[in-house]
Amino acid sequence: MQSITRYLEDVLKLEVNKDKSAVDRPWKRKFLGFSFYHKKGGVGIRVHAKPVEKFKDKVREVLSRSNGRNTEQRIKSLNRCIIGWVNYFGLADMQNLASTLDEWIRRRLRMCIWKQWRKIKTRHDNLTKLGIDNRKAWEFANTRKGYWRISNSPILKCTFTNEQLSNLGLNSLTKRYSIIRSF
């Protein structure tokens, strides 16, 4: 480390940040949001945990239950985040990560929609419009469970399918990632 630092500073006239610089195994370090790991036949690139958390925080901000945006505005903002994130981290191996984040994003979106419906009658009417029978719609509209718990329920998953959410304009991380990987 000392000889490399001396060479960079004396010969190349570059300043080395001693706080950020370290000598360690590549899979233990983070570089521009990427990390490395061993895989069969060599070394792979993955997204480090910190950028994933920052992305989740950004999605939480966009899909916050308390802001007054409608669903179209939320999806538009969310799509910008998704496209930018996948374009940057597209060269990493993140097929499983993308599908996990997709599920989490759809659940958060279902939670926001459920909260927008607020009143029991509104929930009942919207559930019946989406194909749930009358008795089940009343039963589900009267639930006392929290928004996050309801967002993972079978009834909301059946009424707001992945296809319906994509028809609303939601981009999928997995599809976007597969498009980038195909090039």
Instruction: Tell me the pLDDT of the chain averaged across its residues.
Output: 88
Confidence category of residue 62, pLDDT binned at 50, 70, 90: very high
pTM (2 d.p.): 0.82
| pLDDT cut 70: percent of the chain above it | 99
Give one DSSP letter per residue of 91-137, joined into a string.
Answer: TS--HHHHHHHHHHHHHHHHHHHHHHH-SHHHHHHHHHHTT--HHHH
The per-residue pLDDT for range 32-58, each reduced to its tens digit, is 889 888 888 888 889 998 999 999 999
- Give Rg (Cα) of the chain: 22
Name, in order, each residue with C-beta under 8 angstroms of 111's C-beta and a sequence gap of 6 or more.
Answer: 63, 65, 147, 148, 150, 151
The structural domains of the chain, with segments of one domain joined by +, span 48-182
